Amino acid sequence: MKKVLFILSTAVIVIACGGGSTEAGKEAAGATAATTGNALSDNPDYQKGLALVAGSDCLTCHKVSEKNIGPAYKDVAAKYENTEANVKMLAARVIKGGSGNWGAIPMTPHPQLKQEDVEQMIKYILLLKN
């Protein structure tokens, strides 16, 4: 009987400890994600740009982290520094259409979009750096 009790209590301790450390791990991971997540989503450039990108056709060809028909937005952010000049230059490429910078597939022109809206989209994209 003593032996059974011993095995049972050992099992309880193992389960308790195991569960405890997983919870702690989850909390730590959650805290990191929440911190970075908040920093980005609190940024008005991020919020406005994301809304404009989501409201246009961008996401049919672009994903945030994977290459689709067009390059991943994270790769675009890694390639270009977030400067005023780059924002204007990339916005002009989205409006006029671009090709040859990432491969053979061209990006369709977007003449219907306003320069200022596209600049806002680019500001969001350039925030997506890792």
- Chain residues in the site for ligand HEC (CB under 6 A): 53, 56-58, 60-62, 69-71, 76, 90, 93-94, 98-103, 105-108, 110, 113, 121-122, 125
Kindly tell me the burial class for residue 98, based on how many C-beta atoms sit within 10 Å of its own C-beta (0-12, 13-18, 19 or more). middle
Among residues 45 and 121, whose Cβ is nearest to ligand HEC? Answer: 121
The pair of three-digit structure tokens given for residue 15, joined into one six-digit string: 């389960």
Other C-beta atoms lying within 10 Å of the C-beta of residue 80: 17
Closest distance to ligand HEC from the beta carbon of 59 (Å) = 8
Do 53 and 122 touch, CB atoms closer than 8 A? Answer: no
Question: Which is nearer to ligand HEC, 10 or 68 (by Cβ)?
Answer: 68
Distance of CA 95 to the CA centre of its chain: 23
Rounded to whole angstroms, how far apart are CA atoms 13 and 27?
21
Q: What token pair was written down for 110?
A: 């977007």
Minimum distance from residue 107 beta carbon to ligand HEC (Å): 3
Of 5 and 85, nearer to ligand HEC (C-beta) is: 85
User: Smaller CB distance to ligand HEC: residue 19 or 55?
Assistant: 55
**Nearest-approach distance from CB 25 to ligand HEC, in angstroms:** 37
Record the tokens describing residue 88, joined without a space: 């204007």
What is the smallest separation between the CB atom of 28 and ligand HEC, expressed in angstroms? 34
